[in-house]
């Protein structure tokens, strides 16, 4: 059998960083970890190729070569998926589709031969059994959650690592929290399932043996969902491995805000090589937090929690939401103040949307307020339900936030606030030739051509005189800002 794995194209969104990766001659931030893992689950004797449409052009001869095209996708990629399905149908190649997009709405996609829904560890063995018995079905699904103790190491040989900014690892699935706008607990459950430390170290070994050095992102929806196991087993094992291998990687992941309450955990994570964490902060309004079931964020000073995490050596990236039923017209200024004071440079603010498999979606269906399917993009100015706040005021308020945090002056000020908060942290040496490229290109595009160049040079000279060891980070965040301004160019005044 000849199998072609295809990862559809991502649109130009907040997290695509398409305008930033060009500064270091990369094509995309992350490779398609799901497809690489599925590839490792299929018979070794099958021929396999992978085309990530975000880094390479998919040719007709690639599709014609294959007996089946395997597609995995997220909701935000659905337009690219539709075009891909049409191409495969026109060329007469069979399609097997899976991943979050199809698990939530496979009935919306005609022209697919077989759907592998839910978790591959449960559906692929049944699919393969039926394949060899010549009894393939249209849909394979499961209402159970798979143990991931036997999930294989991804088939990294299928990609060109040089085209990506970061590699990926998954340690756990599931989240102990149950925010109503999130579909993670529906897809993966609240019982956090984990890989063994042996599996994690095997995956690190594989990446290292492939010649990778640099960023590695743990894709877990909440890396600290099982804090006791993290502290007892996984982090000590990573600390030992990183020390033995002379720290080839820099880790990032997603966590919950209660990380700030555990100093032992933060010390271990930093010692293990973690330097960036994404946290769903959502809103400074306790009523809205209660509304969405985000109780772990209630009754705390969010700025103090974020600053504490920063002071332990971490960059905090944050997710923020407006459009809750309890939001008042003051929420827009409150969000701006929270983001600016906390020094969260990478702040993704989006309108509330209801994913199909979330509790919020079901509630809004019952209230007859759903108007369309979600786009999957957090920052495209769409909302898929009727909000309680007047729609025009919600949109104008959202635009106010965008201007208040991503216009050049407040954005560069936020970078300085963040860097001031971590001046005492000894920065790890992680020099790469790519940083020189980024420096020279940033000088040209941000320091010469950009109309906001005065803010760029103020930051550069401020960094040089105040904290020269933080200059690489200052340049990195300036490049991020270039991407964010491109994304929001129609909304920035």
Q: Give the pair of three-digit tokens for residue 219.
A: 């894709």
Beta-carbon contacts of residue 148 (< 8 Å; ≥ 6 apart) = 121, 170, 172, 173, 193, 194, 195
pTM, entire model: 0.95
CA-based R_g, the chain, Å? 23
Rounded CA separation 378/13 (Å): 8
Q: What is the pLDDT of residue 435?
A: 72
Would you say 151 and 199 are in contact if contact means Cβ atoms under 8 Å apart? yes
Q: Give the pair of three-digit tokens for residue 119.
A: 């978790």
200-205 own/partner pairs: CB under 8 Å, 24+ apart: 200/169, 200/171, 200/234, 200/237, 200/238, 201/237, 201/238, 201/241, 202/153, 203/153, 203/154, 203/169, 204/169, 204/238, 204/241, 204/245, 204/249
DSSP 10: P
Strand ranges inside 61-207, DSSP E: 68-72, 94-98, 114-116, 139-140, 166-169, 172-173, 193-194
pLDDT in tens, the chain (493 residues): 999 999 999 999 999 999 999 999 999 999 999 999 999 999 999 999 999 999 999 999 999 999 999 999 999 999 999 999 999 999 999 999 999 999 999 999 999 999 999 999 999 999 999 999 999 999 999 999 999 999 999 999 999 999 999 999 999 999 999 999 999 999 999 999 999 999 999 999 999 999 999 999 999 999 999 999 999 999 999 999 999 999 999 999 999 999 999 999 999 999 999 999 999 999 999 999 999 999 999 999 999 999 999 999 999 999 999 999 999 999 999 999 999 999 999 999 999 999 999 999 999 999 999 999 999 998 899 999 999 999 999 999 999 999 999 999 999 999 999 998 777 676 565 545 567 888 899 999 999 999 999 999 999 999 999 888 888 899 999 999 999 999 999 888 6
Would you say 239 and 268 are in contact if contact means Cβ atoms under 8 Å apart? yes
Region of 352 on the Ramachandran plot (φ > 0 left; ψ -120 to 50 alpha; else beta): beta
Q: What is the pLDDT of residue 234?
A: 97
Q: Compute φ and ψ for 142, nearest 5 degrees.
A: -150, 145
- Best CA proximity match to 345, nearest among 378, 310, 315: 315
- Tell me the C-alpha to C-alpha distance, in Å, between residue 184 and each of 116, 146, 202, 266: 18, 14, 26, 24
């Amino acid at each position: 059998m000849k199998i072609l794995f295809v990862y559809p194209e991502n649109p130009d969104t907040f997290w695509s960083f398409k305008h930033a990766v060009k500064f270091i001659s990369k094509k995309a931030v992350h490779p398609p970890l799901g497809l690489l893992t599925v590839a490792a689950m299929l018979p070794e004797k099958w021929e396999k190729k992978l085309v990530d449409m975000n880094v390479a052009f998919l040719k007709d001869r690639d599709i014609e070569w294959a007996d089946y095209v395997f597609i995995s996708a997220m909701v935000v990629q659905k337009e690219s998926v539709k075009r891909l399905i049409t191409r495969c149908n026109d060329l007469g190649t069979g399609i097997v589709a899976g991943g979050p997009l199809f698990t939530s709405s496979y009935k919306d996609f005609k022209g697919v031969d077989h759907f592998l829904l839910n978790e591959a560890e449960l559906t692929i063995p049944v699919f393969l059994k039926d394949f060899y018995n010549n009894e393939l079905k249209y849909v394979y699904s499961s209402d159970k959650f798979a143990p991931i103790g036997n999930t294989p190491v991804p088939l990294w040989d299928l990609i060109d690592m040089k085209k990506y900014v970061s590699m990926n690892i998954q340690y756990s699935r599931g989240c102990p929290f149950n925010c109503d706008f999130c579909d993670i607990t529906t897809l993966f459950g609240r019982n956090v399932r984990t890989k063994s430390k042996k599996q994690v170290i095997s995956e690190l070994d594989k990446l290292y043996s492939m010649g990778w050095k640099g960023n590695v992102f743990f894709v877990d929806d909440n890396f600290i969902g099982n804090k006791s196991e993290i502290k007892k087993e996984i982090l000590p094992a990573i600390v030992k491995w990183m020390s033995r291998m002379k720290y080839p990687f820099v880790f990032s992941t997603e966590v919950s805000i209660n990380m700030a309450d555990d100093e032992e955990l933060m010390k271990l994570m930093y010692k293990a090589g973690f330097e960036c964490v994404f946290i769903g902060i959502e809103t400074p309004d306790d009523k809205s937090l209660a509304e969405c079931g985000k109780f772990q964020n209630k009754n705390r000073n969010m700025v103090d929690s974020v600053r504490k995490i920063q002071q332990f050596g971490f960059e905090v990236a944050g997710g923020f939401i407006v459009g809750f039923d309890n939001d008042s017209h003051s929420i827009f200024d409150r969000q701006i103040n929270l983001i600016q004071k906390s020094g969260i440079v990478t702040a993704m603010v989006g309108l509330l949307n209801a994913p199909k498999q979330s509790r919020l979606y079901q509630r809004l269906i019952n209230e007859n307020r759903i108007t369309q399917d979600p786009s999957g993009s957090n920052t495209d100015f769409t909302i898929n339900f009727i909000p309680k706040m007047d729609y025009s005021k919600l949109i104008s308020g959202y635009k106010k936030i965008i201007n208040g945090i991503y216009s050049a002056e407040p954005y560069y000020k936020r970078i300085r606030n963040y860097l001031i908060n971590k001046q005492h942290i000894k920065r790890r040496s992680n020099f790469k030739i790519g940083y020189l490229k980024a420096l020279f290109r940033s000088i040209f595009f941000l320091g010469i051509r950009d109309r906001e160049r005065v803010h760029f040079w103020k930051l550069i000279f401020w960094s040089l005189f105040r904290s020269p060891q933080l200059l690489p980070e200052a340049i990195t965040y300036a490049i991020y800002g270039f991407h964010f301004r491109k994304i929001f160019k129609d909304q920035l005044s």
